[in-house]
């Protein structure tokens, strides 16, 4: 606990509550600034942004608050060794059935998805370092120790994402100042970067104490934490803070599409599943028609999904049209297993409620 307090105090963060970075729209500068101003730690999800978009968002947060905040990036994937062209062409043909306008089918046909260039990632990192963002977190990989050492030169605290104890150990050895331990319950993409047996996914309750026992740096628990009960449980397991995504997805300040918010709040019994259908990388979201149809076709061995981020590029026109038409059945509805506990409210009220619940549960347990 001393370790926890000193780490957060050094960051200038008063409460052990991080609003998860949520790339693709939900993590607006307003959401990030509100959580940070309330004494938690807000994160921009910069994974899909260019260097310029990243700079703009950082400056917008700074206009709203002087409180510390974080920026999260995606470590670029190493391109697959097999040529993905065959799976790209068959996927284009399959996706055409979901394009209900000829223009959209032609747009999908014309796509030439590519692995992101190292150069664009490096340009984005230069901006984040130039802007002296106090906390940098990353997912989908583990950079070399020299790279992390360079990121730390300006004083930033570096946080990596692990889904197994082995990944946490590798991140600590590479020089990370803290580790996000992301359990099976978590909404959005899994941060997994070491080869993984998909029958061995570890839940937050089992993962956090194992990571705490294996590393010396502070651990941030993520996955399925929705209220004060969950926060206290994570702290009891040895976490220094929690990173909550789904709870903040329906906050007033989040940029989540209204039809997506509506699905979170009203599709209570659909449940979530891990799927590669939207992006090519495993991510957890609320089940919908698109996910069910593609996962079914994959299970029936009718089709293969191209690797991330190629599939992400291929499904983009359909997801964009779904947004225009308010059709949540074709959007990626990333959410954690706890999503039925989400309620729409301003982000400041979320943080205040979480802190009150945390105190209440603490008191009730000491009876």
* Interface contacts to ligand FMN, rule CB under 6 A: 20-23, 26, 45, 47, 72, 139, 161, 182, 185-188, 222-225, 243-246, 249, 334-336, 338
- Give min distance, CB of 195 to ligand FMN, in A: 20
Our CB check for ligand FMN shows the closer of 215 and 264 to be: 264
Cβ neighbours of 322 (radius 10 Å): 22
Cβ neighbours of 3 (radius 10 Å): 13
- Give min distance, CB of 317 to ligand FMN, in A: 20
Our CB check for ligand FMN shows the closer of 55 and 281 to be: 281
- Give min distance, CB of 49 to ligand FMN, in A: 10
Q: Which single residue is written with the structure tokens 């294996």?
A: 214
Our CB check for ligand FMN shows the closer of 12 and 25 to be: 25
- Give min distance, CB of 281 to ligand FMN, in A: 11
Residue 47: partners with Cβ closer than 8 Å, 6 or more residues away = 21, 23, 24, 72, 73, 74, 139
Our CB check for ligand FMN shows the closer of 87 and 124 to be: 124
Our CB check for ligand FMN shows the closer of 11 and 221 to be: 221
- Give min distance, CB of 119 to ligand FMN, in A: 21
Our CB check for ligand FMN shows the closer of 245 and 306 to be: 245
- Give min distance, CB of 203 to ligand FMN, in A: 11
- Give min distance, CB of 42 to ligand FMN, in A: 12
- Which residue pairs, CB below 8 angstroms and at least 24 apart, start in 323-330? 323/257, 323/259, 326/258, 326/259, 327/259, 328/259, 328/260, 328/262, 328/263, 328/267, 328/288, 329/288, 329/289, 329/290, 330/98, 330/288, 330/289, 330/290
Closest by CA position to 70, among listed 87, 51, 57, 81: 57
Q: Beta strand pairing status for 135-139 and 157-162? A: parallel
Our CB check for ligand FMN shows the closer of 87 and 243 to be: 243
- Give min distance, CB of 77 to ligand FMN, in A: 14
Cα distance between residue 243 and residue 108, in whole Å:
36
Sign of CA dihedral 7, 71, 228, 213: negative
Our CB check for ligand FMN shows the closer of 51 and 108 to be: 51
């Amino acid at each position: 606990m001393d370790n926890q307090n000193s780490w957060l105090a050094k960051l200038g963060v008063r409460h052990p509550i991080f609003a998860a970075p949520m790339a693709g729209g939900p993590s607006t500068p307003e959401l990030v600034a509100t959580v940070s101003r309330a004494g938690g730690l807000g994160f921009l999800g910069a994974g899909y942004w260019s260097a310029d978009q990243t700079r703009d968002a950082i400056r917008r947060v700074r206009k709203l608050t002087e409180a510390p905040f974080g920026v999260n990036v995606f470590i670029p994937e190493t391109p697959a060794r097999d040529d993905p062209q065959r799976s790209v062409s068959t996927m284009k043909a399959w996706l055409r059935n979901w394009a209900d306008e000829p223009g959209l089918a032609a747009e999908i046909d014309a796509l030439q998805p590519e692995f992101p260039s190292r150069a664009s990632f490096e340009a984005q990192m230069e901006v984040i370092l130039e802007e002296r963002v106090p906390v940098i977190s990353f997912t989908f990989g583990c950079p070399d120790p020299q790279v992390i050492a360079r990121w730390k030169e300006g004083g930033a605290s570096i946080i990596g994402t692990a889904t197994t104890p082995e990944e946490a150990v590798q991140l600590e050895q590479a020089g990370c100042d803290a580790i996000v331990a992301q359990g099976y319950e978590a909404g959005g993409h899994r941060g997994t970067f070491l080869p993984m047996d998909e029958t061995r996914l570890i839940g937050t309750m089992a993962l956090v104490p194992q990571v705490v026992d294996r590393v010396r740096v502070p651990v941030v628990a993520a996955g399925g934490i929705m209220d004060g009960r969950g926060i206290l449980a994570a702290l009891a397991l040895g976490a220094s803070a929690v990173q909550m995504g789904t709870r903040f997805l329906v906050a007033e300040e989040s940029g989540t599409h209204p039809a997506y918010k509506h699905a979170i709040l009203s599709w209570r019994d659909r449940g979530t599943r891990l799927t590669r259908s939207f992006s090519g990388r495993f991510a957890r979201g609320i089940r919908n028609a698109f996910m069910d149809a593609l996962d079914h076709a994959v299970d029936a061995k009718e089709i293969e999904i191209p690797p991330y981020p190629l599939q992400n590029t291929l499904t983009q026109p359909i997801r964009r049209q779904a947004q225009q038409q308010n059709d949540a059945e074709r959007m990626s509805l990333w959410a954690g297993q706890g999503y039925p506990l989400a309620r729409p409210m301003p982000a400041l009220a979320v943080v205040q409620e979480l802190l009150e619940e945390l105190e209440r549960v603490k008191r009730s347990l000491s009876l």
